[in-house]
Amino acid sequence: MTVRLTQASAPLMHSIDVRDEFGATRRIAIPAERALTVFVDKRELVTLMTLGAAPELLVLGYLRNQRLVERADDIDSITVDWDVQAAAVTTRAGIERFDEKTAKRVVTTGCGQGTVFGDLMDDLDRIALPPAYGPPVQSVAPPPAGDVVATGEYLARIGHCMDCHTPRTTDGRLLMEQLGAGGMQFPGPWGVSVARNLTPHDSGLKGWSDAEIARAIRTGVGRDGSTLKPPMGFAYYRNIGDADMAALVAYLRSLKPQPFAGRN
């Protein structure tokens, strides 16, 4: 199920006129701070202060963080209207024990995101930690100078590429023999995205040029020009330099070709 969201993204900066130390009037840009009052099924919950870049996702994340909703699927729509500085949330089936959950609140700062509702810490102990992979890492050796593939592997580790692009065992470990084969599903407000096959296989990056791979990683534009979805962190990879990108691509091309998700 998909949450219906308005796209009320607002500019992060706005211009004001100031008088500088020489008495001259200058126009400068400052970050915007907008108030957004959240209504859940028509009932007022809290006022969040935000820059306004992604107000719908802010509200969704807030409700989830506060354990007021279990899953994004519990929400039908979030409608943000800056004219009235409000976000109207419609749930699919109401929020269980809403009064009880919101009766107790701790206000840690004046800003709405500092408001913490009663139940927040209740299920903290039940959050399972990922399996341990071995003893703590003491140090990581740099890749051997001049070894392009090893450098690419090193960068792929820092970039967590294979954590998303490799199938896992039922207890959450990476299936190293299917490294890079893709298939992991990521549900979210964007629908469901599926990690692609990064190995040099027909269902992976085999026919891609280096430039096409670099464009996908840096800008989230697919080979056919389509827009790739989150949670791949295109914005974080945008500034990967040319030498590092060449190493990453060389590493991806060195992977063992695998059918998509390791399935034949």
- Footprint of ligand HEC on this chain (CB under 6 A)? 156, 159-161, 163-165, 186, 193-196, 198, 213, 216-217, 222, 228-229, 231-232, 237, 248
Q: Report the distance separating Cα 29 and Cα 15, nearest Å.
A: 4
* Residue type at 212 in one-letter notation: E
**Minimum Å distance from CB 218 to ligand HEC?**
10
Measured from the CB atom, the residue of 189 and 222 that comes closer to ligand HEC is 222
Measured from the CB atom, the residue of 41 and 212 that comes closer to ligand HEC is 212
**Minimum Å distance from CB 19 to ligand HEC?**
47
**Minimum Å distance from CB 145 to ligand HEC?**
21
Measured from the CB atom, the residue of 45 and 195 that comes closer to ligand HEC is 195
Q: Report the distance separating Cα 64 and Cα 12, nearest Å.
A: 24
Token pair 């996908």 in the structure block, residue: 216
Measured from the CB atom, the residue of 79 and 193 that comes closer to ligand HEC is 193
DSSP, collapsed to helix, strand or coil, labels residue 25 as: strand
Q: Report the distance separating Cα 95 and Cα 64, nearest Å.
A: 12
**Minimum Å distance from CB 9 to ligand HEC?**
20
Answer whether 50's CB lies under 8 Å from 71's CB: no
Measured from the CB atom, the residue of 102 and 199 that comes closer to ligand HEC is 199
Contact partners, residue 116, CB within 8 Å, separation at least 6: 66, 105, 106, 107, 108
**Minimum Å distance from CB 259 to ligand HEC?**
14
34-40 and 86-91: which strand pairing?
A: parallel
**Minimum Å distance from CB 196 to ligand HEC?**
4
Measured from the CB atom, the residue of 118 and 159 that comes closer to ligand HEC is 159
Measured from the CB atom, the residue of 62 and 237 that comes closer to ligand HEC is 237
Q: Report the distance separating Cα 37 and Cα 86, nearest Å.
A: 5
Q: Report the distance separating Cα 94 and Cα 208, nearest Å.
A: 47
What is the DSSP track for 144-179? PTT-HHHHHHHHHHHTTHHHHHS-B-TTS-B-GGGT
**Minimum Å distance from CB 50 to ligand HEC?**
24
